Structure 1
Amino acid sequence: MHAYRSHTCADLNKSNVGDTVRLSGWVHRIRDHGGILFVDLRDHFGITQVLCDPDSPVFSEMEKVRSEWCIRIDGNVKARDADLINDKIPTGEIEVFVRDLEILGAADELPLMVFGDQEYPEETRLKYRFLDLRRQQMQENMVLRSDVVSSMRKRMWDKGFREYQTPIITASSPEGARDFLVPSRIHPGKFYALPQAPQQFKQLMMVAGFDKYFQIAPCFRDEDPRADRSPTDFYQLDMEMSFVEQQDVFDTIAPVLAGVFEEFGGGRKVDAPESWPQIPYAEAALKYGSDKPDLRNPIEMQVVSEHFAGSGFAIFAKLLEQEGTEVRAIPAPTGGGRKFCDRMNKFAQGEGLPGMGYIFWRDKTADSVAQELGISVKEAQAKLKSGEVEGGMEAAGPLAKNIGPERTEAIRQQLGLGVGDAAFFLGGKPKAFEKIAGRARDVIGKELGLIDENRFAFAWIVDFPIYEADEESGKIDFEHNPFSMPQGGLEALNGDPLAVKGYQYDLACNGYELVSGAIRNHQPEIMLKAFEIAGYGEEEVKERFGALYKAFSYGAPPHGGCAAGVDRIVMLLADQQNIREVMMFPMNQRAEDLMMNAPNDPSSDQLMELGLRVIPQE
């Protein structure tokens, strides 16, 4: 027999009754039933119940065993009584009577329990990640991650792609985030960088004639952490293709991702890739307040400035006199109650706004009729009942009183709302309130139960602006990937930079950005002009991006590609809210590895060898 096991803890069933077996694993749970010890023995594959009573030669040793001890047992497989069968686990029809026991690894008192669903602080979970990972949900998450990556690889190979590896130590490059720098011992005072993405290398591969490339690529960015983003490193399904246009990239990657979500999405609906909408960036910002909209939420915002211009609501009326301002409405079907409107007003205050204007529509009440006519409520009730006063719908809320019935009715008709519905309003320069409006849209959709939780809703966001202007200085800089081909080529770059759109695209799903990519700028003269607009001189471009610039001078093919975030995809599939739940050994919110104590202080010898000195921070 094998030194540690003849079977895993998921293998045994009724056909094994009478067999002598050897199992190894961790003590998941111990129950003492009147001198009979029942132990749930767990390994990576499952759980088997083993039992030990005073007739066992190792009973006294088994009494000493505690939770999470790693043990080996030898024993005989027995059938469980019919009323004791556990149909929730594959081994639920049998149990193993213990004849021999070996302690493989005793465990100290546990800082967190593996059995059960207790909640522990994230700091504790990350410090003792090796214990946290023993929990069933974490085991399932990591298996899911591995299976998703395997599926991605297979699907890419099936589409004619080959996997190639790119360097981990390279040169610093502006990819939109901070680099992690690596000091060079051989070249004192100089630094390598960990790649933010394989961007330049995969483009160079296309110039080298490799028609299709993909890689499950590690990427390193010194970023502030968020629930859906790691502060240090992450993995992406990276791909690039030659002789393609934007739609070719969509047609290639969309079926791969759709297949992955169908395979691992637990039966949730996945729309056919050819039906995924392509939404211009400007339209997404207007309708959803986000370039990664959650299309499970049917709410679409609209501009309603004309209804407030010159109205009795002075705040919006005066605001609209300023250039570049507008008022947008967020429809809230079924949200037409004062309590809900007050909650949303409180949400806006939590976002740093003084509040959020609202109108809601309801059946005309005796109270409102009494107030309008200056009569008692009893008289108003009689007039409504007799038909002397017409019933029907009325608009309520502070805004309705200020702008009057004609304007509120025009707003209602534009938004397609009725009795029991509401609308919320934000105004100003769109850049200043769009993100808050987008968050409000999400909250309204969730609170009102409008979101289809049983669906993955994908959308391509296209026509991103290449440049943006700093509000204070007016300086032009890249808004997105600087290596993208501008729509209209060189001619477009000779006009207004802020009007230039790129062949850049993202894929959004359920409110998350899953994919980002572009058709690349592969012509040297366009590259120089694009960087010149952002303030980079020709010599600086040649110095910082020398390899790309030279490569483009030697017959570069048109090419494009994208990258899909593996961690974020698995997070969605696992139905988790935090990306750290699907990463094996993540950092905490402060970009610290509490388990390995990183970052830590280098030794004097290390600093001396690298020619570095650490200046203490105040």
Structure 2
Amino acid sequence: MYRTNTCGELRLSDAGKNVTLSGWVQRIRKMGGMSFVDLRDRYGITQLVFNETDNKELCDAANGLGREYCIQVKGVVSERQSKNPKIPTGDIEILARELNVLSPSLTPPFTIEDKTDGGDELRMKYRYLDLRRTPVRSNLELRHRMTILIRNFLDARDFIEVETPILIGSTPEGARDFVVPSRMNPGQFYALPQSPQTLKQLLMVAGFDRYFQIAKCFRDEDLRADRQPEFTQVDCEMSFVDQDDVINIFEDMCRTLFREIRGVELPKLQQMTWHDAMKRYGSDKPDLRFGMEFVELKDAFAGKGTFSVFDEAQYIGGICVPGCADYSRKQLNELTDFVKRPQIGAKGLVFIKYNTDGTVKSSIEKFYSEDVLLDVKQKMGANDGDLVLILSGDNANKTRVQLCSLRLEMGDRLGLRDKNVFKCLWIVDFPLFEWSDEEQRLMATHHPFTMPNPDDIPLLEEHPERVRAKAYDFVCNGIEVGGGSLRIHDTNLQEKMFKILGFTPERAEAQFGFLMNAFKYGAPPHAGLAFGLDRFVSIMAGLDSIRDCIAFPKNNNGRDVMLDAPSALEAGQLEELQLKLDIKTK
């Protein structure tokens, strides 16, 4: 028997027991004729005591241990003289009687403690060591608990878990596919699924009624803190439901998760239209933990001054930053540089300070009278001591997005984006289509299987850009955690959607004929939703990146530095796949 107990289990009530523990050496301390070893496993840390007076040979063996040695120790539980209230086992220690080295260890490349000295790349290379650290392991334990809660919740509501294929056909609409060559079908390729979208719709046609899957998905896209090339979705689909049915059941699931994981009771969540979200916050995933709603100021300045930038602008919008009228010129210059960054793209920033003594100071005071600036104060709902920041531009939506970045920056600067506060909502009434400058055509905002709002179907032919979707996103703290829609279940309407998206009938048949044919066999009305499990866990854990809630993540270049993947194939493998690469490798 390697152990009778774990390293986080023993308490003062166990004093006098003979026990066997196994784990890894966290640290060693030598004090006079005694040596103290902190032994760690997944469950906690227990202090071991080796006394030179009792057994010098055993004490010498303990002194020869190194960090991360995997050992087994036998001994007696004893009350600790110098107790450690910071750990659950801090009242006891083990008086060691026998020591066995199960496996020695090299000196670790970084300190395996809560606060480590290892950088991201080093920890990713030795991820199996990084996973020994309590914060990382705790994130994966949280992920496990959330997954169990989700499964139990859905199982209790008659959802059935079905696994769908990983090797499927390529569907170029959307993000880029990862493709897999087929040896048995030379020159042909599978794709890894971006989501099980069409497959879960087929399950509804098949009469499964309520489906879910903790599904692996793959997208070959540029990475950010909340993106990985492979990620996990809580993927769900339901038949004979409308939008409110889906929202109600999954809002209830989210309420259960917040209650069980964070002890937070979510209220009934508001639903905000996409149009209102963009107008008030410049984002379809607004962070409601703080205010600073946009105020449109075009009318406030029109014809009242000589500032050509505002006169020529299509949109002028501002945010009121409370208590920041004392911002220095240096701080305001930093904000100007921030909005001018290429990622944001604004040409400049206008400020108005409403000082606590009632005076007004502004970067545009020479163009407008004080009366105009005081009128802006009233429109902004500003008080003495507040700072108003204004952006303008010739494209309203683009300028709103820029102002959104500035709003979030001010929220961060003022500490208003508390990770222990959770503000959730649903965004509804998305546009069905969006214009792609890259493709020079309309693209589906969500995907081409989304149901148009029935009231807007007459607009499909002449004004598709004005059609709203029966789609909904679950947003928490400015992060899109999940989203879904009612699905098209009529072949004719689906064909019309493909036509608007630029599909020829032949291409639509080649890529999605199986789905349209299935709709001819009594397809039920159906709808679904998918949550990003990685994002959801990272929110619950208070993380800035999803990487630390994934066991073996990729780095920002999409590489697994531990496995050194992706990597080149041997010539024999390429030949077997009938592939020839002309790319010169370094």
- TM-score, L = length of structure 1: 0.90
Q: Which amino acid in the other structure matches residue 434 of structure 1?
A: R
What do residues 507-541 of structure 1 show as CA deviations (whole Å, max 9, x unaligned)?
11001100111100111111111111111112211
1:74 counterpart residue number: 74
Native 8 Å contact 2:216 2:233 kept in 1: yes
Match of 1:427 among 386, 392, 397: 392
Shift of 1:473: 7.9
Shift of 1:298: 1.4
Q: What code does the residue aligned with 2:72 have? A: R
Q: State the match for 1:199 in structure 2.
A: 197
Counterpart Cα distance in 2 of 1:504 and 1:8? 49
Secondary structure of the 1:403 match is: coil
Query: 8 Å contact 1:308–1:316 — kept in the other structure?
Result: no
Match of 1:254 in 2: 251
How far did 1:91 drift?
Answer: 1.7
Counterpart Cα distance in 1 of 2:33 and 2:3: 27
1:281 paired to 2:274: yes
Whether the 8 Å contact between 1:311 and 1:317 is mirrored in structure 2 is no
Does the Cα contact within 8 Å between 2:470 and 2:485 map onto a contact in 1? Answer: yes
Whichever residue aligns with residue 394 of structure 1, its letter is T
C-alpha deviation, 1:311, in angstroms = 3.6
Distance 1:451 1:109 in 2: 40
Larger deviation, residues 588-597 vs 476-485:
476-485
Q: 2:242 aligns with which of 242, 245, 265?
A: 245
Q: 2 CA distance for matches of 1:608 and 1:400?
A: 72
Which residue is equivalent to 2:125? 127
Secondary structure of the residue aligned to 2:155 is helix
Between the aligned partners of 2:390 and 2:265, the Cα distance in structure 1 is: 33
Determine the C-alpha separation between the residues in 2 that align with 1:101 and 1:78.
Answer: 17
In structure 2, what residue type is equivalent to 1:298? Answer: G
Overall identity of the aligned pairs, in %: 39
Q: 1:490 to 1:550 in 2, by over 3 A?
A: farther
Residue 331 of structure 1 and its aligned partner are, at CA, apart by 1.7
1:491: how far off? 2.3
Q: Are 1:337 and 1:420, in contact at CA under 8 Å, matched by a contact in 2?
A: yes
CA distance in 2, matches of 1:458, 1:418: 28
Return the letter of the residue paired with 1:586: P
> Which stretch of structure 1 is more off in the superposition, 102-111 or 333-342?
333-342
The residue number in structure 1 matching 2:266 is: 271
Find the counterpart in structure 2 of residue 384 from structure 1: none
8 A Cα contact 2:258 2:266, kept in partner: no
Q: CA 1:416/1:615 → structure 2, altered by over 3 Å: closer, same or farther? A: same
Distance across 2 between alignment mates of 1:435 and 1:26:
50
Cross-structure match for 1:361 = 354
The question of whether the paired residues in 2 share the 8 Å contact of 1:316 and 1:327 is answered with no
- The secondary structure found in structure 1 opposite 2:226 is coil
Matched, 1:594 2:561: yes
Distance 2:553 2:145 in 1: 19
User: Contact 1:319–1:427 at 8 Å: present in 2 too?
Assistant: no
Q: 1:5 maps to what in 2?
A: 3
3-state DSSP of counterpart to 1:284: helix
Residue identity matched to 1:420: G
Cross-structure match for 1:229: 227
2-side partners of 1:361 and 1:327: how far apart? 19
Q: What letter is aligned with 2:243?
A: Q
| Partner Cα distance (1:473, 1:541) in 2 | 18
Question: 1:453 deviation in Å?
Answer: 4.7
SS in 2 for 1:112: coil
Counting matched residue pairs gives 577
5 Å-filtered alignment, 1:494-509, equals: 494-509=461-476
Partner of 2:378: 413
Secondary structure, in 3 states, of the residue corresponding to 2:390?
strand
What secondary structure does 1:49 align onto? strand
Q: Aligned pair in 2 of structure 1 residues 211, 21: CA closer, same or farther (>3 Å)?
A: same
- Structure 1: gaps of 5 or more residues: 365-392
Deviation of the 1:227 alpha carbon: 0.5
Q: Is the 8 A contact 2:58 2:99 kept in 1?
A: yes
Partner of 1:65: 65
Alignment check: 8 A CA contact 2:300 2:375 kept? yes
Contact residue 7 and residue 21 of structure 1 kept, 8 A:
yes
What is the match of residue 444 of structure 1? 410
Provide the secondary structure at the position in 2 that maps to 1:530: helix
1:326 to 309, 315, 333: 315
Question: Using the alignment, how far apart are the partners of 2:446 and 2:114 within structure 1?
Answer: 45
1:447/1:270 Cα in 2 relative to 1: closer, same or farther (>3 Å)?
A: farther
CA gap 1:600/1:405 in 2 versus in 1, 3 angstroms: same
Deviations 1:157-194 (A, max 9, x none): 12221111111111112452111101111111000111
Q: 2:442 aligns with which of 476, 495, 499?
A: 476
* Cα separation, partners in 2 of 1:473 and 1:64, compared to 1, 3 Å: closer
Is the counterpart of residue 565 in structure 1 residue 556 in structure 2? no
How much does 1:407 deviate? Answer: 2.0
Instruction: Tell me the distance in 1 between the aligned counterparts of 2:295 and 2:519.
Output: 44
CA separation of 1:554/1:590 partners in 2, compared to 1, >3 Å: closer, same or farther? Answer: same
Question: What residue number does 2:518 align with?
Answer: 551
Among 459, 464, 467, the residue aligned to 2:430: 464
Do the aligned residues in 1 keep the contact of 2:121 with 2:555 (CA within 8 Å)? Answer: yes
- Return closer, same or farther for 1:61/1:317 CA change in 2, 3 Å cut-off: closer
- Taking a change above 3 Å as real, the CA distance of residues 270 and 414 of structure 1, as seen in their structure-2 partners, is farther
| Cα displacement (A) at 1:211 | 0.7
TM-superposed CA distance for 1:471, in Å, is 4.8
Partner of residue 283, structure 2:
290
* Cα distance in 1 between the residues matched to 2:36 and 2:403: 56
Query: Contact conserved, 1:466 with 1:502, CA < 8 A, in 2?
Result: yes
Structure exhibiting the larger radius of gyration computed from Cα positions: 1
Mapped pair 1:151 → 2:149: yes
Give the letter for the 1:166 counterpart.
T
> Are the aligned partners of 2:114 and 2:135 in contact in 1 as well (CA < 8 Å)?
no
Please, which of 292, 307, 314 is the counterpart of residue 314 of structure 1? 307
Rounded to whole Å, the distance in 2 between the matches of 1:445 and 1:281 is 22
CA offsets 1:452-479 (integer angstroms, 9 cap, x no match):
5542111111111122234588532323
Alignment check: 8 A CA contact 1:334 1:448 kept: no
**Between 444-453 and 150-159, the greater mean CA deviation after superposition:** 444-453
Q: Matched residues in 2 for 1:148 and 1:334: separation?
A: 40
How many angstroms apart in 2 are the aligned matches of 1:217 and 1:116?
31
Give the conservation status (yes or no) of the 8 Å contact 1:427–1:433. yes
Q: Which runs of 5+ in 2 are unaligned?
A: none
Q: Map Cα deviations across residues 490-518 of structure 1 (whole Å, 9 max, x no partner).
A: 42312301101111111110011001111
The letter of the residue matching 1:457 is K
Query: Is the contact made by 1:310 and 1:317 (CA closer than 8 Å) also made in structure 2?
Result: no
The DSSP-based 3-state class of the residue aligned with 2:364 is helix
Which residue identity is paired with 1:410? D
Q: Structure 2 counterpart of 1:456, which letter?
A: F
1:10–1:90 Cα contact (<8 Å) kept: yes
The alpha-carbon distance between structure 1 residues 313 and 575, as it changes in their structure 2 partners (threshold 3 A), is farther
Secondary structure of 1:412 counterpart: helix
Query: What's the CA shift string for 1:201-258, capped at 9, x where partnerless?
Result: 100011111110111111111111101111x111111100111111111001111012
The answer to whether the aligner puts 1:170 opposite 2:159 as a matched pair is no
Aligned 8 A contact 2:66 2:107 in 1: no
CA contact (8 A) 2:22 2:72 kept: yes
| Residue 212 of structure 2, aligned match among 209, 214, 223 | 214
SS in 2 for 1:408: helix
**8 Å CA contact 1:426, 1:433 repeated in 2:** yes
Given residue 326 of structure 1, which amino acid in structure 2 is its aligned partner?
Y
